[in-house]
Chain A
């Protein structure tokens, strides 16, 4: 069981579609993350929010747009994606943004871009 909830679990979208991934946690964590994971590869950091402020954007293309409406929610807006963006998108949270904090991951959204 995970205390970080992600929806949807699966998503298939065309290259002209607009969709959003959602993530929610109720552990009172103040740091939230988006990771991208390709098959047989490690998770790669995309975005970090600390106290609802975007702290890091790992040179991710602008077709990915993160949003943190409040301390419990994290969204990832997708627009005009490419087939190479197909991957597992993982949301994670930690108590605060500090290198010694345990990461709690959601179950992920498996995204396929056609």
Chain B
């Protein structure tokens, strides 16, 4: 099935600093999804990227899909304590079932 590498594993930032997590695949992806899981919570869908070079924004969050559709990033501008959680990318496998990256755990110091 699809394998996707996600980095970094952890990121600790001061409130107000920016944050970025990356997902990389060795093969071309049809699409990629991003989820957020708050501590003690469950994954919640954030966005899906489908087109080459696509950029989507949700308030302070910017999602990008690479031109070759092999990598993607999630960037948060001016982090807030409410951004705390683990961010996962997810890609479809050969059966069209979603497989999750390892996740990036974000902590924010007020």
Residues of A within 8 A of B (CB): 2, 33, 40-45, 48, 55-56, 90, 97-100, 102-108
User: Can you list, as one digit per residue, whether each of B14-39 has a CB less than 8 Å from chain A (1) or not (0)?
Assistant: 00000000000000001101010000
Chain A contacts for B105, CB-based, 8 A: 40
Chain B contacts for A40, CB-based, 8 A: 105
Instruction: Report which of A90, A100, A105 forms a contact with B30, defined as CB distance below 8 A.
Output: A100
Asked if A99 contacts B43 (CB within 8 A), the reply is no
B85 touches A (CB below 8 Å) = no
Asked if A100 contacts B95 (CB within 8 A), the reply is no
A42 CA to B88 CA in the complex, in Å? Answer: 8
* Chain A residue, CB-CB nearest to B93: A99
* Chain A residue, CB-CB nearest to B30: A99
B57 vs chain A, min Cβ distance (A): 18
Asked if A97 contacts B96 (CB within 8 A), the reply is yes
Number of A-B contacts (CB under 8 A): 57
Query: Which of B44-52, B59-67, B74-82 binds A?
Result: B44-52
Please give the number of chain B residues whose Cβ is less than 8 angstroms from any Cβ of chain A in the complex: 26
Asked if A99 contacts B98 (CB within 8 A), the reply is yes
A-B contact pairs, 5 of them (CB 8 A): A40-B105, A42-B88, A56-B97, A103-B90, A107-B42
* Chain A residue, CB-CB nearest to B9: A40
Chain B contacts for A102, CB-based, 8 A: 33, 45, 48
A48 CA to B41 CA in the complex, in Å? Answer: 22
Given the interface pairs A99-B30, A102-B33, the reply to whether A45 lies near B48 with Cβ below 8 Å is no
Chain B contacts for A44, CB-based, 8 A: 100
Asked if B92 contacts A42 (CB within 8 A), the reply is no
Closest 6 CB pairs of A and B: A99-B92, A99-B96, A42-B100, A105-B42, A102-B45, A105-B43
Chain B contacts for A99, CB-based, 8 A: 30-31, 91-93, 96-98
B70 touches A (CB below 8 Å) = no
Asked if B41 contacts A107 (CB within 8 A), the reply is yes
Asked if B97 contacts A90 (CB within 8 A), the reply is no
Asked if A42 contacts B101 (CB within 8 A), the reply is yes
Given the interface pairs A99-B31, A102-B33, the reply to whether A43 lies near B41 with Cβ below 8 Å is no
